[in-house]
Amino acid sequence: MKFKKRFSFSGFLILSILGVCLAAPIIAPYDPNAIGVADAFSGPTATNWMGADDLGRDLFSRILYGGRITILIAMSATVIALLIGTTWGLVAGVRRGWVDEFLMRTADATMAIPQILFALVCVSAVGASVISLPIVVGFLLSPTTARMARSAVVTELASDYVTAAIASGTKRSKLILSEVMPNIAPQLLVQLSINAAAAVMLEATLSFIGLGIQPPNASWGTLMLQGYAKIWNTYWFVFFPALAVTITILAFNAYGERIRVTMDSRRSSV
C-alpha cells in the first residue's frame, strides 16, 4: 500500500508541472524577457524566488515559460512516437513472416545508433525549431515503442480468446480493433510515460549543446546552457532549470513504474 501511495504522487506531480507551465502567463510575476527586474546574478529573494540571470531577468518567470516549450516539444514527440511505433509494431505483429523480420531488423538497426548521435545528425540536417524537434525526437523514440507494441500484440494474438474468436468466424481486423488494442493499452501507456521522460531529456540535451531552441526563446535546456556558461557568477542560474528537468523526468518514470506494478499485480491476481 505504501508503495502504491508513493508512486501515485508522481501522477499528481506530472499534472502540477503541466498545469503550472500552461498557466505561466498568469503565474509568472514578470515578463520572461524583461531586463533589469533584479540585480544580475542575484540569488533567490522574496521578490525573485529563483534569482536572476546575467541580464537581471527573473529566473522563475523564465523557467515557467521555458517549461511550456520543453513540455510542448516532449508531449508532441511522445504522441508522434506512439502513433508511429504502435503502427509499426502492430503491422509487424499481425503480418509476421518477412514483414515482421524486416520491420524489427529496421528497428534494431535504428536502436543500435545512440539516440543523441542520431538526434545531432537529424537536427543538423533539418534545423532546430518547435516544429522540427518533436518530429526528430518522436522518430527516435518510435523503434522502442514498436518493439514493445509488437511483443504485446503477438502475446495477445496467441491467447485462447483470440483463437476461439477466429474459430467462431470473427474477422481478424475487427478482433484486433475491439479486443487486442484495448488489451495492450496499459502497456502503451507505460511506454508513453517512458517516452515522455526520454523526450524531455533529449530536448534538454539538444538545447544544452546549442542545437535546440534558440534565443530569444528559451527552454529548460537553453536556460541550463546559459547558466552553465555563467556558473562562476552564480550556480542558481543552472541549478533551477536542471532541477526542473530532473523532477519532470523522475515523475514520468515513476508514473510509468506505477502503471507497470499495477498491471503486474492484476495479472498475478487473475
Nearest to 43 by CA among 227, 263, 259: 227
Q: Burial code of 6-43, b = ≥16 C-beta within 10 A, e = fewer?
A: ebeebeebbeebeebbeebeeebebebeeeebbebbbe
pLDDT tier at 225 (50, 70, 90 boundaries)? very high
Q: What is the largest CA-CA distance in the chain?
A: 75
pTM of the model: 0.88
For the stretch 27-47, pLDDT in tens is 999 999 889 888 888 888 888
Q: How many CB atoms lie within 10 A of CB 118?
A: 16
Residue 112 CA to residue 110 CA, distance in Å, equals 5
Q: What's the whole-number mean pLDDT along residues 181-210?
A: 90
Q: Is 50 exceeded by the pLDDT of residue 135?
A: yes
Looking at the domain assignment, is residue 95 inside a domain?
Answer: yes
Looking at the domain assignment, is residue 41 inside a domain?
Answer: no
Q: Give me 241's grid cell.
A: 532549470
CATH number at residue 234: 1.10.3720.10
Q: Give me 151's grid cell.
A: 511483443
pLDDT > 70 in the chain, percent: 95
Looking at the domain assignment, is residue 249 inside a domain?
Answer: yes
State residue 2's pLDDT score: 45
Q: Domain range for residue 205? A: 2-24+50-269
Mean pLDDT score of the chain = 86
Looking at the domain assignment, is residue 34 inside a domain?
Answer: no
Looking at the domain assignment, is residue 196 inside a domain?
Answer: yes
Give how many domains the chain has, as a whole number.
1
Looking at the domain assignment, is residue 30 inside a domain?
Answer: no
Rounded (10°) CA dihedral 196, 247, 115, 146: -30
Looking at the domain assignment, is residue 33 inside a domain?
Answer: no
Looking at the domain assignment, is residue 105 inside a domain?
Answer: yes
